[in-house]
Amino acid sequence: MRHFVTVGIFVILMTILTYVGLSASGLMPVEASEQARSIDWLWDIQVKAIAFLFSLIVVPLIYSLVVFRRRRGDTTDAEHIEGNTRLEIAWTVLPLVAVLALAYVGAYSLAEVRRVDANAMVIKVTGIQWAWKFEYPEQGITSTELYLPVSRQVVLKMESPDVIHSFWVPEFRIKQDVVPGRVTEYRVTPTLIGNYKVRCAELCGTSHAYMESPVIVVDQAAFDAWISEQQRLAAALDTPEKRGEALAANNACAACHTVTGAESIGPTWLGLFGSEVSLADGTTITADDAYLEESILNPTAKVVEGFAPSMPPFPFTTEEVADIIAYIKTLQ
């Protein structure tokens, strides 16, 4: 009995030390959303369970190696033990109860994370190789930055025109895949004003590591001021060239095409219009309006020599394509 009491005390001490050490190591980033509270609560329960199970294995193992080691000169056989029915029942029933309890708290946490606010603001998110685009349909603006008002739930309706991406802001804790052909939802209520960053958590191609965008949480007054400024800038896009430049910026065209002549994943736009383009099939073609329109709507129809056919088709309207071409024409 003395050994059980001693081991029990050491297990408790080791559990406390392990939990304190793990908690102090900063495993999780700052908590910045209402949904993160429930997730962090569940995480804390799991860390405590991990600390206990680690101690329950390591302490008896080390204690047995030290206390019950074979002494010098001892050649006797160890005590033969057939089994212990009570112990076997205990280590079957207790883990089952623990798993059921964790299943319950996990379901409770999921319900809290997915709790719906009828007044949530809707933002449309497009994940593109390799950038993010955010549309505010109620306000009629588009941005490459995700501005959010603090203490108000937003629902992100997310789509992808190319491959699977995954929307992840570590401080919000939640992660949601963005799947081609589907609209997936991501609900979050920011609780901490500050600057964060959305990352893609699904390997999606050459520039996956750089698929990041700012996430800026502000108070309601600052959010309203930002919306007003974006609406003013949108209203100032009064020429096809300006609208085309804005479309190129909002759809991450710069992720593959430069306007300086520098090399990138795709051909540069500098001096492109009217130039002779060498294609992968050995032919050449003049970069006129028809060629540029086809290259935007069906990028793999005529692949430029030296470049991989990696550009996805973009769902631009005829007017938007014309605006982008007008912008490309200015890059001479």
Work out the number of other CB atoms within 10 angstroms of the CB of residue 9. Answer: 11
Are 228 and 246 in a shared domain? no
- Range with lowest mean pLDDT among 59-63, 163-167, 224-228, 292-296: 292-296
- Range with lowest mean pLDDT among 4-18, 26-40, 302-316: 302-316
Task: State the Cα–Cα distance between residues 126 and 142, nearest whole angstrom.
Answer: 11
**Interval 294-298 mean pLDDT:** 83
**Interval 113-119 mean pLDDT:** 88
Q: Is 80 exceeded by the pLDDT of residue 147? A: yes
Are 207 and 252 in a shared domain? no
Q: What pLDDT score does 124 carry?
A: 94
Choose one of 176, 210, 235: the last residue of a domain. 235
Are 179 and 209 in a shared domain? yes
Are 146 and 244 in a shared domain? no
Task: State the Cα–Cα distance between residues 283 and 178, nearest whole angstrom.
Answer: 37
Q: Is 80 exceeded by the pLDDT of residue 3? A: yes
**73 domain residue, yes or no:** no
User: Exposure string (b/e) for 176-213, b if CB count within 10 Å is 16 or more?
Assistant: bbbbeeeebebbbbbbeeeebebbbbbebeebbeebeb
Q: What pLDDT score does 308 carry?
A: 78
Q: Is 80 exceeded by the pLDDT of residue 254? A: no
Q: Is 80 exceeded by the pLDDT of residue 220? A: yes
With 0.75 as the threshold, say if the pTM is over it: no
Percent of the chain with pLDDT over 70: 100
**Interval 58-87 mean pLDDT:** 84
Closest CA to 25 of 55, 60, 57, 50: 50
Query: Quick check: bond before 269 cis, omega within 30?
Result: no
Q: What is the pLDDT of residues 168-191, one digit of tens each?
A: 999 999 999 999 989 999 999 999
Q: Is 80 exceeded by the pLDDT of residue 78? A: no
Name the domain count of the chain: 3
Are 99 and 142 in a shared domain? no
Q: How confident is the model at residue 15 (pLDDT cuts 50, 70, 90)?
A: very high
**Interval 192-198 mean pLDDT:** 95
Q: Is 90 exceeded by the pLDDT of residue 232? A: no
Choose one of 191, 207, 235: the last residue of a domain. 235
Show the domain range for 133: 121-235
Are 135 and 225 in a shared domain? yes
Q: What pLDDT score does 325 carry?
A: 84
Can you list the alpha helix ranges (DSSP code H) found in the chain?
2-24, 34-67, 85-113, 220-235, 240-250, 289-297, 318-329
Q: Is 90 exceeded by the pLDDT of residue 61? A: yes
Are 154 and 60 in a shared domain? no
What's the chain's average pLDDT? 87
**Interval 89-112 mean pLDDT:** 91
Are 127 and 230 in a shared domain? yes
**69 domain residue, yes or no:** no
